[in-house]
Amino acid sequence: MNEMRSPDLSLVEAQSETPEAYVKVKDLEVRFVSREATVKAVNGVSFELKKGEVLCVIGESGSGKSVMMRSLLQLHAKKRTRMTGEMRVGEHDIMKVTEKRMSELRGSTISMIFQEPMTALDPLYTIGDQIAETVMRHERVDRDAGWKRALELLELVRVPSPERRLKAYPHELSGGLRQRAMIAVALSCRPSLLLADEPTTALDASVQIQVLVLLRKLQREMGMSMIFVTHDLGVAAQIADKVAVMYAGRIIEYGNARDVLMHPEHPYTRAMLSSTIKDQDRSAPLDTIAGTPPDLRALPDGCSFAPRCKYAGPECLAAMPPEVTDGRNHMARCVRVSAVRGLLAFEPGLAAANVPA
């Protein structure tokens, strides 16, 4: 598992309420089918995101975070992928749009920032060409207007000497500048949904913070919704309005950042938060969650976390634990969690009451 960094909870911000969901994902399932096996990568993911909100998705390596994000852009190879459920972004029904329409939406309405900019930037074209080309294609403007916008975007993402950098090739830029250039490409057509899949993990810590602060500022200024995947709980605490915790292709805890990070109720979220490096002697080995994530080719019935959970009992294996949600939309999927006086509460002895008949 990648190292999780602890959240500075003083930085969790008050929630801003806006009227209705802009992104709606319901019961999303993604299967990768081959002759040898079927990988159940996403197993019934549902969430909603309002305009201007930031959802942080956290969870161990292999829990389905990237597959879920790439689904929103229909980036999986059609031949080997089975997707069911609903995905809506604004008025667009992502499950039903044609490939032609989807390619128009990619980079305009929905845009993605990848972990490693070299995989997203074309090494054969200058930064200016790449941004201008995206603008020309989506906004049907001429080359001069495309280049003018490219310059504005490099200024927006605070690339120093932007005129010179427009004519540079990706390999001529430092890691931090390449990441900024990729953000400029992603923002070039003013997306309303920005997907950021661990966009700063390849950078030094000090550059990471600069890029994150910039990203959050641009997200606010442009009123974009953003889904942000991170292994860093400190980052989640700083930028998220909502947090979703994924395990074995499912969201096992979800809610306002403050609720999930300060009052985690699912045993996996609790274990993950307590295995962070906060308040620990940095020379001491980190607590880790014992065991390994399940094999997505052969998921057992019931709670996927059971083999690693110290509270597991037979009732946890009988069926998939139902979602339990409190009055604040804080959800956990565990038979030992219930809503008590309007708030979620974990009780080790609760199982029987929560097991569906």
Ligand X SMILES: Nc1ncnc2c1ncn2[C@@H]1O[C@H](COP(=O)(O)OP(=O)(O)OP(=O)(O)O)[C@@H](O)[C@H]1O
Assess 344 for contact with ligand SF4 (CB under 6 A).
no
Strands, DSSP E only, in 153-211?
193-197
Assess 65 for contact with ligand X (CB under 6 A).
yes
Assess 64 for contact with ligand X (CB under 6 A).
yes
- Among 216, 36, 14, 22, smallest CA distance to 113 is for 216
User: Closest CB to ligand X among 73 and 156?
Assistant: 73
Give the span between the Cα atoms of 333 and 323, in whole angstroms.
4
Assess 63 for contact with ligand X (CB under 6 A).
yes
Assess 244 for contact with ligand SF4 (CB under 6 A).
no
Bridge partners of residue 243, in order along the sequence: 56, 255
Q: Which stretch binds ligand X (CB under 6 A): 63-71, 100-108, 125-133, 183-191?
A: 63-71
Assess 230 for contact with Mg ion (CB under 5 A).
no
Give the span between the Cα atoms of 41 and 113, in whole angstroms.
21
Which amino acid is residue 121, in one-letter code?
L
Q: From residue 284, how far is each of 121, 276, 287, 354 by CA, in Å?
A: 40, 12, 9, 39
306 binds, among ligand SF4, ligand X, Mg ion, none (CB under 5 to 8 A by kind): ligand SF4
User: Closest CB to Mg ion among 59 and 162?
Assistant: 59
Assess 39 for contact with ligand X (CB under 6 A).
yes
Question: Considering only residues 269-308, where is the footprint of ligand X by CB under 6 A?
Answer: 296
Give the span between the Cα atoms of 210 and 220, in whole angstroms.
16
Q: Residue 217: which region, alpha, beta or left (left: phi > 0; alpha: psi -120 to 50)?
A: alpha
Assess 334 for contact with ligand SF4 (CB under 6 A).
yes
Question: Cβ of residue 41: shortest distance to Mg ion, in angstroms?
Answer: 11
Q: Which of 4, 23, 28, 41 is in the footprint of ligand X by CB under 6 A?
A: 41
Q: Which stretch binds ligand SF4 (CB under 6 A): 13-21, 79-87, 287-295, 298-306?
A: 298-306
Assess 66 for contact with Mg ion (CB under 5 A).
yes
191 binds, among Mg ion, ligand SF4, ligand X, none (CB under 5 to 8 A by kind): none
- The answer to whether residues 319 and 335 touch, using CB atoms and an 8 Å cutoff, is no
Crossing angle of the two packed helices 205-222 and 175-187, in degrees rounded to 10: 10
